[in-house]
Chains A and B, each alone.
Chain A
Amino acid sequence: MQLFSHMHAVLSTVTCMRRSSIQSTFSINPEIVCDPLSDYNVWSMLKPINTSGTLEPDDKVVVVATQLDSRSFFWNVAPGAESAVASFVTQLAAAEALYKAPDVTTLPRNVMFVFFQGEAFDYIGSSRMVYDMERGKFPVQLENIDSFVELRQVALRESLELWMHTDPVSQKNKSVQSQVEHLLTALEESGAGVPTVVLRRLNQSQPLPPSSLQRFLRARNISGVVLTDHATVFHNRYYHSVYDTAENINVSYPGQQSPEEDLDFVTDTAKALADVATVLGRALYQLAGGTNFRDTIQADPHTVTRLLYGFLVRANNSWFQSILRQDLRSYLGDQGPLQHYIAVSSPTNTTYVVQYALANLTGKVVDLTREQCQDPSKVPNENKDLYEYMWVQGPLNSNGTERLPYCVRSTARLVRAVSPAFELGQWGSTEYSTWTESRWKDIRARIFLIASKELELITLAVGFGVLVCSLVITYCINAKADVLFIAPREPGSVSF
């Protein structure tokens, strides 16, 4: 059995990136051997901000973050139900609930929803965002961050408990500690109104679980909390595994239903995640300075279940089809769930679908034509710096033949997520992620019979023997040929 699985990259990122750069500098037809893992983060603001500049230092932002990606042992297989999907679906539902509050435009502080890509590979997305924030390349700066809430693995809550992790090291600073205390009380007060979620604090000295907050804390002591379903040991038995599927978080549908019926069927997991989203939404409202309408914020389990169905069971459903742009239809695949691996070509399916889902859930339908939607600079009231305009397919009409497209205006945007190590050219960096993916040739295998070693050696020996024998015999016969073969007498010649 012969397996051909040739990978062009060797040794390490440093070696393969160096070789790629030599190729691209000196060769007409460069042969790149590996590519850095890269994609886009998805982010949006509760109140629109001008993305062409940066915020004033007095504008404070509450950041709520989660991760978009997962990984497994196998390439491009990353179902990531508990490790990624459940958390970002919860965050999407919380965003939808928060945007519906009546007085969002008058809240003192802004809220930034960010979905980091590449967290499974040493925090590519979050390290890049911190790097951009430090250099002023991102509209929000580190000093604008008031507090930080992160969602990590929230689907397997035991006895309704949701744990709040904080960082003990940064809390040695008194002001940070009081801010963290304020953050935790806000969460607990919001959780009081939702009986199906019980918020629990942890021992002060326990460090944070692996989270994007750690990248922010490396740059600045901000007050942050990480919400998880586990206190110490993960409840997820299939963390970063191929088995982290819908089954792992108890998302199951009764049989005998059509895909469209399954899409709208509200599972228990969806209800539980909607409750977490409600708590999160209310806490964010309170942290942003809102007071009046906190208890009216409610996440919709129907939204949660449709998102879970799309990301974990079948991406090619009618709702996902209606919220996407027309040329992105093929990103939904044919059947089956999406795989949440970051990959090297960007943006990936997950990134696009999350961005468009966020736009659909938090944005507004505006009455623009297709040309206006694609280029709103000419339209008087619309501002490309404040908003993102998307021309989406829309649902099928009643006949089921055509789509009814429309324009969605939202603040859901993409921002580049490549590890700063590649920007700086520090391929051996220990500070930032340096993950790359090798390029490869076609993978194939073949089975064939091989001869026994004895037969091969016998053949070779016999061959040599025959060659030597024939050389010897020919030489001997040739030397004495005149003895062996008597030439016939030519008439007329005399010989003695």
Chain B
Amino acid sequence: MDTLALEATLPKKAQPTALITGPPVPAPTKRKPAKKTKKAVVFFEVEILDAKTKDKLCFLDKVRPTSTKLCAACYPQWYPARQSIRLDPKGKSLKDEDVLQHLPVGTTATFYFRDLGAQISWVTVFLTEYAGPLLIYLMFYFRVPFIYPPKYDFTTSKHWVVHLACMCHSFHYVKRLLETLFVHRFSHGTMPLRNIFKNCTYYWGFAAWMAYYINHPLYTPPTYGEQQVKMALIIFLFCQIGNFSIHIALRNLRPPGSKTRKIPYPTKNPFTWIFLLVSCPNYTYELGSWLGFTLMTQCLPVAFFTLVGFIQMTVWAKAKHRSYLKEFRDYPPLRSPILPFVL
């Protein structure tokens, strides 16, 4: 986390005041603005109330108009990621970068504080939730003891599609792990801690359920045999490349360390041309990948997983699409959230 700078722009002489780390000091060091700046500086008074109880949590006076990141001033024991400061008790949180001067408040500003609860970083959650399926599936593939009848322990399936499926599934999650580490640029640093339990249950649970059947000694290969599996593999690989292309394109929209938001457009890579028709093609390709995997394994639990994932991604895609429309006046009208022309 950035060190909290109470002042966004400081004359070089001035040091951050004690307001940053400790309890509020009624009168901070009586610095006058540097003589170089000729304009008068109007100091703000800031009052921070608890959003639920409306108790006065702290009061800061002599706050510079160019201040940002007031949060840590009051409750140093609650790290900034779990603090939410907002103008309205039920409103949206202010961002770290918001400058006091530019907010719609008078010179005596009242903010509301909310504890967001224990937080965990997105990267940690992603790594955990993706490492699980990778390892769990392999456990079923290698038929470790206590899953299938003992005579099958450490045996391998006699169907070649089962080996292929393992490679595809593992490739998919390795790709996700590497993307988390090297590709994605996250808007938010953290999410609520309870999400990791929810998410891991979902991913790990479904991975175990699918892997159990695909690697089962009584597994039945697809009805249309080699033809079906080959077609499925093509679809799967096509969509994996597509999904990766979109992730790269989205990453390139955003310079390193920034949180800028721009409209994504097709690039030279043909896999990104789908941006002409869809707002969230990463989800479109993801759906395609899992449809391919379902076709490859002809396994009903995989179909369920695909369906549930599709529903969730549609919810996200619609929200993202709506937020694009709200944020950008010139957003291309031809685009649908996730399925061209349909959804």
Asked if A pairs with B, the answer is no
